[in-house]
Chains A and B, each alone.
Chain A
């Protein structure tokens, strides 16, 4: 079970770092098709920032920001975005995840359609990975205290 940290140094630095970690995670997700990184890595960084917030500011404070329900919605909607783009390519008479067929509905040339398609895929992967990572950590941290006190 996670206890709220009493250490003011860790708390303050975490509070200042979390927004920058999150914007870095989004940068990694959004630039996955130009530079190292991508949906999975960015999602893990995003989840790490939330976990950092949780171990410094306590479970309650983190739950106010992102509830378990929101985590469930994020994880399933991430998979939905991924599968949706894949199936959309099938519907447009291409292969599964064949982004170039998206050019027909996006009205751009196939190269750009591939770029946008993979961006969408990465957003979906990032969302799903973030939510699942966070919920795994959350479940592990809560499991210990299931029978005992539940003040945190």
Chain B
């Protein structure tokens, strides 16, 4: 009697364990499926960002934005607000916008233009502070009693991706005393630095990080990190 009870209890517990195992496998399967679905969606998004951004945003929207910028510039220059001159401005801005709307926004990437503009203006004070401190440092190097000038050329691969951010970084480097951007070749910067400290400051990469932040270029790295988790789920599934 007791033996049968024991066997029954063992049976039930085995069944329960089996159920639990099946449920766990189901759960993991769903998780893997969901992750891979998100992955394909994310991949599609990223692809759209890299390849289709120009097409999807192109044409009319570019034309309108270019027209508005050119017209604002015209009003600033003209200073005459009567109907005749404003109409002339509209005609001229439309003409130029039609002819050059593919120039101004040739390589638009991720990111909201308003956020980028706001971050860019927030970046300028930091750059000015950097220029002032570098000025003082370079003056101390040049005027100091010891000969400390050790010119060197450093090269580094940038993580920035669009041409506009490369140009911003290159011009920021050139504007900061002590360093001059000589060339950009395939995303590799060749920078002339006055001495070791200046070169080290540049290699620390704070300026690059800030520019990546301005143009919202570091953001997609986090997306990539999330996607890298998917293979781990795959491994877990195999282990069961």
Tell me whether A and B are bound partners.
Answer: yes
Q: How far apart are the CA atoms of A12 and B104 in the complex, in Å? A: 9
Q: How far apart are the CA atoms of A13 and B100 in the complex, in Å? A: 14
Q: Is the CB of B103 within 8 A of A18?
A: yes
Distance to closest chain B CB from A130 (angstroms): 12
Interface set, chain A 12-35, CB cutoff 8 A to B: 12-13, 15-16, 18-20, 22-24, 26-27, 30-31, 34
Q: Is the CB of A15 within 8 A of B170?
A: no
Q: List the B side residues contacting A69 at CB < 8 Å.
A: none
With beta carbons under 8 angstroms apart, the residue of A8, A11, A12, A18 that contacts B100 is: A18
What's the interface size class on A, roughly? Answer: 20 to 34
Q: List the A side residues contacting B74 at CB < 8 Å.
A: 23, 26-27
Question: CB-nearest residue of chain B relative to A11?
Answer: B163
Kindly state whether residue B202 has any CB partner on chain A within 8 Å.
no
With beta carbons under 8 angstroms apart, the residue of A8, A9, A15, A23 that contacts B70 is: A23
Q: List the A side residues contacting B163 at CB < 8 Å.
A: 8, 11-12
With beta carbons under 8 angstroms apart, the residue of A8, A16, A27, A65 that contacts B77 is: A27
Q: Is the CB of B99 within 8 A of A65?
A: yes
Q: List the B side residues contacting A31 at CB < 8 Å.
A: 78, 80
Q: List the B side residues contacting A22 at CB < 8 Å.
A: 96, 99-100
10 further interface pairs, Cβ-Cβ under 8 Å (given A15-B106, A31-B78): A7-B183, A9-B184, A12-B164, A15-B103, A15-B104, A18-B100, A20-B73, A22-B100, A23-B93, A27-B77
Residue positions of B touching A, CB distance < 8 A? 66, 69-70, 73-74, 77-78, 80, 85, 88, 92-93, 95-97, 99-100, 103-104, 106, 163-164, 166-167, 170-171, 181, 183-184
Residue positions of A touching B, CB distance < 8 A? 7-9, 11-13, 15-16, 18-20, 22-24, 26-27, 30-31, 34, 65
